[in-house]
Structures are given as structure tokens and as C-alpha cells.
Amino acid sequence: MTEINETLTNKVDPIIIDRSNRIDSIRLLLALMKWTARFMKRWHSKNGYGHGENPRNG
């Protein structure tokens, strides 16, 4: 059984592992951005944008 595990472990391509890690990092970043945008939208709708205007309207 140990020989099978070693064979499977040795056949994994490091490029695939690196790509998988990058994809996971991107997914985590996108999830954090989405959560932050949702949180800020709720916070501003509750507290207002300050001085009665939306800062995006410049």
C-alpha cells in the first residue's frame, strides 16, 4: 500500500499544484471582495454616505 501512495505522490505535477493554489487564492480574493462590497452596501444604507450625498456622484 505504501508503494502505491508513493507512486501516486510522485506522479503529481508541481505545475498542477501551483495552478490549483493560484485558483484557490483567486477564489478566496473574489469571495472577500464580494463580502466586503455586501457589507459596505449594508453599512451605507443604514448609516448614510455622509453629508447627504453619494461620494460616487462627485
The model's pTM is 0.46
Mean pLDDT of the chain: 73
pLDDT of the residue at 3: 57
pLDDT of the residue at 35: 92
More confident call, 1 vs 16? 16
Among 35, 32, 12, which residue's Cα sits nearest to residue 24? Answer: 32
Grid coordinates representing 8 are 501516486
pLDDT tens per residue, range 26-52: 999 999 999 999 988 888 787 776 655
For 50, list phi and psi in degrees, rounded to 5. 90, 130
